[in-house]
Amino acid sequence: MQLPKDFLSNMSTCLGDDYNHFIESFDVKQYPSIRLHPQKGKLLQPEGNKIAWEPNGYQLLDTKQFITDPFWHAGAYYVQESSSMFLGHVFRQIFKNNYPKLVLDVCAAPGGKSTHLLDLMENNGILISNEILPKRNIILKENLCRWGYEHAIITQNDPKDFSGIFEKIDLIVVDAPCSGEGLFRKEPLATKEWSLKHVAACSVRQKDILKHVVPALKIGGYLLYSTCTFEPSENEHQMQHLLQSGCFEVIEIDINGLAGITENKEIPSYHFYPHKTFGSGFYMAVLRKTKEIHPLNEQKRYFPNIKKVPTQVFPWYSEGYSQQYNIREGIFEVRADIADLITSFGNTLNITYAGKQIADIDQQQYTPSAALALCTSYNNDTSIALNNQEALAYLQGLSLPIDATNKGWNVVTYSGLALGWVKAVPGRLNNSYPKPWRIKKRI
């Protein structure tokens, strides 16, 4: 692999005697890792090595076509770099047996850390999962729908919009946009986009994100900052800047027994280098807020795109136990705590998803939402089991020549896990799997 000369020079200075081993690691084939869903993934037994810092994580021994695996579509596991799963180890240490009430994942797409946070929160509190870019926000929604929890809202906000939520958040996760050096081995084309100028631009952008979101953090709340790069200017220097404000202290994480993680003793923080761990490059630091930081005087923006509606009952969903909202082209049911958050901050947050989506709206017609079928708290009495061939046909958007007993809307399942909806008519099942989610490649 041809690595940028300036990058090699920087790493030689940073790593010293480890430099040659680091460079050799880029020629070692990297296999993917997965994190099992605590509920949906119970039946799976992956062929791989357990990841030391994540009980549900596995480093696979070979490559795999995830897009053609019905278990992946059902949300039984998430494909994620093993080093990124260190989030779980940190979360369990700082919160122990308690749960944060409000968590913000600022740069959330495609959803790896958000799905992990939802697991760790165990239906307690609320996760605000934010992604400003519209296309990436859609991908985030798809992945959170597959994961199936209802204690989350998805927003599409600029980080500066959160300065209005003053000292309300217990944990802020900033997995910052970065120069992506840790991705070189996985995505060699990333080397073409790298430059010292790009590193400098990323550093400025990271500092800007942090200065806008930290006022929203409670005193005593935690900031988890991470990148997939090795650059001190994007890592330690960002933490140093916050510490110089006098409003934060560093939290050290116990990594005894976790071989391969490199700790920076000067500013306690944690590097994952590809020559020492299975995964790609990764960095994480943990700070705790100790003093108030006044929000910047930014002009507030308002997003009146969420509207409370009277509780509706549908043929496929008759629980109707909580409040319902119309968000974009959907009807969502939310818990009382999410409803309170919407009341408090709904106009300042550009909410694209909240709680549990129970219906889609198309030309004033209601149909069951795929997110509802995948929701862990949804129990459907009428489901149709599919074998592997049928499941793959369904995931491609094909109708199935099956004459079901219960006509009308039914959930289809694979190995007991929901995939989505069909409408049973005489002699076949009409496919209602969302078009953007369908398998496009030939199988």
User: What CATH number is attached to the domain comprising 58?
Assistant: 3.40.50.150
pLDDT, position 441: 84
Per-residue confidence (pLDDT) for residue 30, from 0 to 100: 87
300 within a domain of the structure (yes/no): no
Residue ranges making up the domain that contains 420:
381-437
> Do residues 170 and 227 both lie within one domain?
yes
- Domain membership flag for residue 69: yes
Report for 40-49, 219-228, 345-354: range of highest mean pLDDT: 219-228
Model pLDDT for residues 80-121, shown as the tens digit of each residue? 999 999 999 999 999 998 999 999 999 999 999 999 999 999
Inside any domain, residue 333: yes
| 258-313 pLDDT, tens digit each | 999 999 999 999 999 999 998 889 999 999 999 999 887 777 788 887 999 999 88
Is 426 within the bounds of a domain? yes
| Residue 46 pLDDT level (bands cut at 50, 70, 90) | very high
Task: Reply yes or no on whether the pLDDT at 1 is more than 80.
Answer: no
Active-site residue identified among 202, 228, 247, 375? 228
Say whether both 163 and 259 belong to one domain: yes
Give the residue from 324, 339, 372 where a domain finishes.
372
Can you read off the two tokens belonging to residue 64? 């795999």
Within this chain, do residues 237 and 168 fall inside the same structural domain, yes or no?
yes
Q: Which of 348, 372, 396 is at the close of a domain? A: 372
Q: Are residues 261 and 387 both part of a single domain?
A: no
* Residues 102, 251 within the same domain: yes
What does the pLDDT look like over 208-255, one tens digit per residue?
999 999 999 999 999 999 999 999 999 999 999 999 999 999 999 999
Active site residue 228: yes
* Burial degree of 98 (CB within 10 A; 0-12, 13-18, 19+): exposed
> Are residues 405 and 354 part of one domain?
no
Q: What is the pLDDT of residue 298?
A: 72
> What is the β-pairing status of strands 126-130 and 102-105?
parallel
The predicted pLDDT at position 364 comes to: 86
Task: Report the mean per-residue pLDDT for the chain.
Answer: 94
Write a three-state SS string for the chain: CCCCHHHHHHHHHHHHHHHHHHHHHHHCCCCCEEEECCCCCCCCCCCEEEECCEEEEEEECCCCCHHHCHHHHCCCEEECCHHHHHHHHHHHHHHCCCCCCEEEECCCCCCHHHHHHHHHHCCCCEEEEECCCHHHHHHHHHHHHHHCCCCEEEECCCHHHHHHCCCCEEEEEEECCCCCHHHCCCCCCHHHHCCHHHHHHHHHHHHHHHHHHHHHEEEEEEEEEEECCCCHHHCHHHHHHHHHCCCEEECCCCCCCCCCCEEECCCCEEEECCCCCCCCCEEEEEEEECCCCCCCCCCCCCCCCEEEECCCCECCECCCCCEEEEECCEEEEECHHHHHHHHHHCCCCCEEEECEEEEEEECCEEEECHHHHHCCCCCCCCEEEECHHHHHHHHCCCCECCCCCCCEEEEEEECCEEEEEEEEECCEEEECCCHHHCCCCCC
51 lies in some domain:
yes
**Is residue 133 one of the residues assigned to a domain?**
yes
